[in-house]
Amino acid sequence: MGHGVATAHLGCARYLIFPSPVAGAMSLDFYYVPLSPPCRSVLLAARAVGVKLNLKLVDLAAGDNLKPHYLKMNPQHTVPTLDDKGFALWESRAILGYLVQQYGKDDSLYPKEAKKRALVDQRLYFDIGTLYQRFGDYYYPVLFSGAALDAEKLKKFEESVEFLNKFLEGEKWVAGSSLTIADITIAVTLSSAEILGFEVSAKKYPNVVRWFTSAKSAIPGYQELNTPGLNDLKALLPAKK
Ligand SMILES: N[C@@H](CCC(=O)N[C@@H](CS)C(=O)NCC(=O)O)C(=O)O
């Protein structure tokens, strides 16, 4: 989501009930907005790792992220931002890697072995630079600037889902044989497109559909942590005339 997000009712009260804390775990301050896909990736990764987040809802419309204390922590003023006892980190995919390395019980979500990690990184960069980028190029002008859907931008997004379909040929997960943080961030991107009306077609993208179905049940807390923000995103769609 770009700058100047026109927000969205943030529905604060509803979010105070999640995510459920993990008993005995450490707590990290987490600045977020549920409708933001990068924020939802972090919620899911934290649950998968077993880290409790001390949730701090940021009201972008009110400029919470432009206040001095926020800018001191993150001069780029984006959500999500993690504050681990004074260590501030933003960029969701960097946060996902950090959570696994710092707090994971093992490295399965972000393997240490060079080639396995390189493959996860490739998929993370594919998401930030291609899949999520093209998703945003297509949908965000409609949600935040009142623009019309652009067929050329849709073609570019469809091409990126076709790439994903090819990556998944004969593979259970997006970066090898086990679930990783790349599955989390890519599932969040795809679910965000789906809620906004993109058809994840079994005919066009059979491998993606097979993987997406598995990911939705294998990612811990998927429905609980992803669905409320998806619904908020959908509510930003202009009413059909
Ligand atoms: N690549 C970043 C994107 C962060 C981003 O653009 N966040 C948006 C909300 S989805 C935001 O903070 N917008 C307000 C601003 O940039 O001031 C990530 O994955 O964390």
pLDDT 10s digits, 46-70: 999 999 999 999 999 999 999 999 9
According to DSSP, the β-strands at 87-90 and 52-57 are: unpaired
Tell me if the pTM is above 0.75: yes
The yes-or-no verdict on residue 26 having pLDDT over 70 is no
The yes-or-no verdict on residue 9 having pLDDT over 80 is no
Give the pLDDT confidence score for residue 2 in this predicted structure: 44
Between the CA of 14 and the centroid of ligand 1 the distance, in Å, is: 22
Confidence bin at 44 (pLDDT 50/70/90): very high
Q: Say yes or no: CB of residue 65 within 6 Å of ligand 1.
A: yes
The yes-or-no verdict on residue 150 having pLDDT over 70 is yes
Q: Say yes or no: CB of residue 77 within 6 Å of ligand 1.
A: yes
Atom of ligand 1 nearest to the CA of 128: 1
Give the pLDDT confidence score for residue 25 in this predicted structure: 52
Confidence bin at 239 (pLDDT 50/70/90): confident
The yes-or-no verdict on residue 18 having pLDDT over 80 is no
Q: pLDDT tens for residues 125-145?
A: 999 999 999 999 999 999 999
Q: pLDDT tens for residues 64-89?
A: 999 999 999 999 999 999 999 999 99
Q: Tell me the C-alpha distance between 48 and 149, whole Å.
A: 35
Give the pLDDT confidence score for residue 20 in this predicted structure: 41
Whether a cis peptide bond, with omega within 30° of 0, leads into 21 is: no
**Catalytic residue ranges:** 36
Hunting for tokens 């604060």 — which residue is that? 12
**CATH superfamily placement of domain 12-103:** Glutaredoxin (3.40.30.10)
Q: Say yes or no: CB of residue 74 within 6 Å of ligand 1.
A: no
Q: What are phi and psi of 88, to 5 degrees?
A: -95, 135
- pLDDT top residue among 29 and 21: 29
Q: Give CA 198 to chain center in angstroms.
A: 17
Close Cβ partners of 175 (under 8 Å, ≥ 6 residues apart): 116, 119, 120, 122, 123, 182, 183
- 166: exposed, middle or buried (Cβ count in 10 Å: 0-12, 13-18, 19+): exposed
Domain layout of the chain by residue ranges: 12-103, 114-234
Between the CA of 2 and the centroid of ligand 1 the distance, in Å, is: 6
Q: pLDDT tens for residues 176-192?
A: 999 999 999 999 999 99
- 80: exposed, middle or buried (Cβ count in 10 Å: 0-12, 13-18, 19+): buried
Give the pLDDT confidence score for residue 27 in this predicted structure: 79
Probe target for ligand 1 pocket from 79, 130, 184, with the most ligand atoms within 8 Å of CB: 79
Q: Say yes or no: CB of residue 76 within 6 Å of ligand 1.
A: no
For domain 114-234, the CATH architecture is Up-down Bundle (1.20)
Between the CA of 1 and the centroid of ligand 1 the distance, in Å, is: 5
Q: pLDDT tens for residues 95-129?
A: 999 999 999 999 999 999 999 999 999 999 999 99
Structure token pair of residue 33:
């907005």
Q: pLDDT tens for residues 183-216?
A: 999 999 999 999 999 999 999 999 999 999 999 9
